[in-house]
């Protein structure tokens, strides 16, 4: 994760104007703007490959998309024939769901992007999740999650099972993270805004996998972002190293015995990569390095990335940590059963339900009426049932029934809908999590149709029917709600998303 700092920006800009610290090339050549200190280290690091590395800065930046298999199979995406992709030539070797794109296409304008059918991502960044084994029941922490590239990939691998905690310490980046997770159909995720030390007080020995896309000096961004060059300095590298050292140590304490840390950066310097890992391993003898690798822009089609995978050995202490973490009762069925038993005992003591409980039961009844009328038995409806909770006239699905008071949680699970004037109104986030096969009434349009573009503008669509809530989809991928009455679909697509 590229970290910016205003002081280093001012310093780098001063150097660039004065010519200090910069390599001397033709002024129209990209390498001419690269800092000399960076180039000296790369020459030492790469040896005979140094010139090929420099030459790569004259190449166009690479772009790619990653298919969201939560929403559609890869074969179904292939059948759409979009973006002039040659699915053999353009396949990304380290990410089974990823494909390179040519520079003349803009996948962000296609309605399938609005529907969360794919994510636009720098290709080498896909390797971090793409080459990590993730099991569907895993508890996963994405420690530095914004804007959501790795979190959305993790979600598709979890397949609505297990748990993803997506944390971002920078409040200004949280919104993009939330929007991307919602568009991808997130159900089993929690978004937190915290530092690693505070997270540790809640999640010691809890996670199976922890991804650290560490704040870094961003040397891998130099080819596509001139600001990254201007922002770079040795002081910034030193600042990032201090942060990286703390992150990996806090993360290790949140890892279960046998679990895995996946540490990555988009920078090239050894200080922020191999040196961080070597220093950490020296302090933790029970840590085992599985692999450590780089993607270089002169060797592969990508801007460059570093990744190391470390496991925590299982021993008696590790077994105890795993046992302690099990006390969190993450397993939904057993935990919610025990919660219901506790609720029953509490009811017996009280002798009657409180006014609040009665109101919540009424709300749940309204939701059940909606579900009976519009949702198919099984599928997402069945998945949500055990974790539904009413709070202040809003219905949520909670993937983790655990006390997180004191932790800044911006979103927990799925916002299912809200109760208005004795009725239930489904949320847009529910539409994004549903598949057309989960509902009784759908209306599907092609991604290049006039109807889907009218829907994205917030316009009404004539149908000649009156079925109530209808899920609108694009090429079989859910996009949002409409309410059909008197032959017209009243558009419920959120105003903030319309275009």
Distance CA 465, CA 474 (A): 20
Q: Which residue shows structure tokens 């703390």?
A: 246
Handedness of CA 321, 131, 183, 422 (dihedral sign): negative
Cβ(154)–Cβ(186) below 8 Å: no
Write out the two tokens for 71: 């929403």
| 238 half-sphere exposure, CB direction, 13 A CA radius | 4
Catalytic residue among 216, 266, 307, 482: 266
Distance CA 248, CA 307 (A): 13
Distance CA 322, CA 404 (A): 20
Q: Report the interhelical angle of 274-283 vs 234-253 (nearest 10°).
A: 40
Distance CA 21, CA 161 (A): 50
> Going by C-beta distance under 8 Å and a sequence separation of 6 or more, which residues neighbour residue 109?
none
Cβ(480)–Cβ(431) below 8 Å: yes
Strand pairing class (477-485; 139-142): unpaired
Strand pairing class (442-445; 468-474): parallel
Distance CA 373, CA 414 (A): 20
- Going from the C-alpha of 462 to that of each of 214, 431, 440, 442, 443, the distances in angstroms are 50, 20, 19, 14, 11
Q: Left (φ > 0), alpha (ψ -120 to 50) or beta: where does 351 sit? A: left
Handedness of CA 338, 344, 346, 348 (dihedral sign): negative
- Contacts by 223-227, CB closer than 8 A, 24 or more apart: 223/30, 223/56, 223/57, 223/59, 223/61, 223/297, 223/303, 224/61, 224/303, 225/2, 226/33, 227/4, 227/9
- Give Rg (Cα) of the chain: 25
Write out the two tokens for 61: 């930046």
Write out the two tokens for 233: 């300095």
Catalytic residue flag (residue 266): yes
SS3 content of the chain, % helix, strand, coil (to 5): 45, 25, 35
Q: Which residues are catalytic?
A: 266
């Amino acid at each position: 994760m590229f970290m910016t700092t205003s002081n280093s920006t001012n310093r780098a800009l001063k150097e660039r104007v004065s010519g200090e610290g910069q390599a001397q090339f033709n002024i129209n050549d990209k390498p001419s703007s690269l800092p000399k200190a960076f180039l000296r280290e790369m020459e030492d690091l790469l040896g005979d490959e140094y010139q090929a590395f420099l030459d790569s800065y004259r190449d166009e930046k690479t772009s790619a998309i990653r298919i969201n298999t939560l929403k559609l199979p890869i074969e179904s995406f292939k059948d759409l024939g979009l973006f002039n992709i040659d699915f053999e030539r353009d396949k990304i070797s380290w990410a089974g769901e990823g494909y390179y794109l040519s520079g003349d296409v803009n996948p962000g304008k296609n309605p399938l992007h609005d529907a969360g059918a794919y994510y636009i991502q720098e290709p080498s960044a896909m390797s971090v999740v793409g080459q990590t084994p993730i099991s569907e029941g895993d508890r996963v922490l994405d420690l530095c999650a914004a804007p959501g590239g790795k979190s959305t990939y993790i979600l598709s691998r979890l397949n609505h099972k297990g748990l993803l905690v997506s944390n971002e310490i920078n409040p200004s980046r949280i919104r993009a993270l939330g929007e991307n997770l919602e568009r991808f159909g997130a159900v089993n995720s929690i978004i937190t805004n915290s530092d690693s030390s505070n997270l540790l007080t809640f999640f010691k020995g809890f996670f199976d996998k922890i991804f650290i896309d560490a704040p870094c000096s961003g040397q891998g961004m130099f080819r596509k972002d001139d600001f990254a060059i201007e922002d770079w300095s040795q002081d910034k590298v030193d600042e990032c190293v201090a942060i990286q050292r703390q992150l990996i140590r806090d993360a290790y304490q949140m890892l279960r015995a046998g679990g895995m840390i996946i540490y990555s950066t988009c920078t090239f310097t050894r200080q922020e990569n191999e040196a961080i890992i070597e220093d950490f391993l020296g302090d933790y003898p029970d840590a085992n390095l599985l692999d450590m690798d780089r993607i270089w822009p002169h060797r592969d089609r990508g801007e460059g990335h570093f990744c190391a995978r470390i496991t925590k050995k299982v021993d008696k202490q590790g077994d105890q940590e795993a046992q302690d973490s099990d006390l969190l009762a993450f397993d939904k069925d057993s935990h919610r059963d025990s919660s219901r038993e506790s609720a029953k005992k509490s009811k017996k003591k009280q002798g009657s339900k409180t006014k609040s409980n009665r109101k919540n039961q009424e709300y749940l009844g309204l939701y059940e009426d909606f579900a009976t009328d519009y949702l198919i038995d099984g599928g997402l409806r069945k998945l949500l049932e055990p974790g539904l909770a009413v709070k202040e006239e809003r219905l949520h699905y909670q993937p983790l029934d655990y006390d997180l008071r004191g932790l800044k949680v911006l979103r927990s699970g799925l916002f299912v809908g809200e109760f208005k004037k004795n009725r239930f109104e489904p949320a847009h986030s529910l539409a994004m999590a549903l598949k057309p096969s989960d509902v009784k009434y759908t209306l599907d349009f092609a991604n290049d149709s006039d109807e889907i573009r009218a829907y994205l503008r917030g316009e009404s669509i004539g149908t000649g029917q009156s079925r109530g809530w209808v899920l609108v989809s694009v090429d079989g991928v859910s996009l949002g709600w409409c309410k059909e009455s008197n032959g017209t679909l009243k558009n419920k697509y959120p105003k903030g998303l319309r275009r």
